Amino acid sequence: MTDSVYLDHNATTPMRPQAIAAMAEVMASVGNASSVHTFGRAARSQLDRARASIADLVGAQAADIVFTGGGTEANNAVLQGAHRRRVIVSAIEHDSVRLASDAETARVTSDGVIDLAALSRMLASSSEPALVCVMLANNETGIVQPVAEVARIAHAAQALVHCDAVQAAGRIAIDMAALGVDYLTLSAHKLGGPQGVGAVALRAGVPFTASQRGGGQERGRRAGTENVAGIAGFGVAAKIATQDLHASAALAALRDKMEHDLVQLAPDAHVFGSRASRLPNTSCVAMPGVAATTQLMALDLAGVAVSAGSACSSGKVKPSHVLAAMGASETEAASALRVSLGWTTTADHIGRFVEAWSDLYRRLSPASRPATVAA
């Protein structure tokens, strides 16, 4: 695997060595963070340090960070714990939000950005206070949403706002107060921490009832013995991500060069969301006439790992609800790949991807073949 090119960081990014070391240190020790003796207090201090680092990453208060078993649990915890019967979610939300409740769907524009006027009309259509769920950045296209404006509109209608920041954290600067959201959710493995650890950041005073009961952990907001080792790794990864945000500019330059090279070779290739504000590491590009499944297999054989849409569907490639919401045809959406860069990505990796993608395009894309001349 050492010669392989990994460009699927939005699915999971490689763990930071410092996070692995922090986890190993915790696993070599003993102590339940709920115990009052020396061992328990040592475990508690690990949680406290991690909580502070994660709060710093998103501009929250450490006391308002609730650890969960991952981003999906964090999203579900908000949808259940906010106690709003009426839920409005954007059409491009991750399935852990979109399918977690009987929600109304707010449409997006062809650029993949939530339609603020349509959201305003939806909120005005009922006097029942809602929970509005809009992600900070989309996992498939990287398109950044106008969350602060969503919050302004929602709060004017007495709604609460949940922001899934799983993909954005560590890739763009986040200030929960500036965004104006009431709930913000995170996942460790998207920013160099371990899989299976997440968090909810709460605005002080918002309703939040534990969906998992049976213990007083997390100040009564999430029962169950905390995953101290995983949380320690999460905290270290969050601290590094906060310090390394400046590296995003270099990733954006690599991504932009990649897209330029692909479109130069294949003018019929379509980069989704190229006119919108995007995460610096994410590209969603369609190779017309070639199914994404075919591309994935060919690229994998060439030693390049990318994704088609979300990686949260039990390894299955299915039609993208995100691209459909943006108005893409079924055929176009079925030919789209997600290429996502991260802290291990180099210019050589991008060059190898472009070479492999180009070779595939020349061999398989109908648009690359010369037109036949009738006799």
Catalytic residues: 312
Q: What interhelical angle do 228-243 and 38-58 show, nearest 10?
A: 30
Q: Are 49 and 62 in contact (CB under 8 A)?
A: no
> In angstroms, rounded to a whole number, what is the distance separating the alpha carbons of residues 14 and 249?
20
> In angstroms, rounded to a whole number, what is the distance separating the alpha carbons of residues 257 and 178?
32
What spatial distance separates the first Cα and last Cα of the chain, rounded to whole Å? 51
- Which amino acid, residue 312? C
Q: Are 174 and 220 in contact (CB under 8 A)?
A: no
- Which amino acid, residue 90? S
> In angstroms, rounded to a whole number, what is the distance separating the alpha carbons of residues 17 and 194?
11
* Cβ contacts of 333 within 8 Å, gap of 6 or more: 286, 319, 320, 323, 324
Q: Are 254 and 350 in contact (CB under 8 A)?
A: yes
> In angstroms, rounded to a whole number, what is the distance separating the alpha carbons of residues 4 and 280?
22
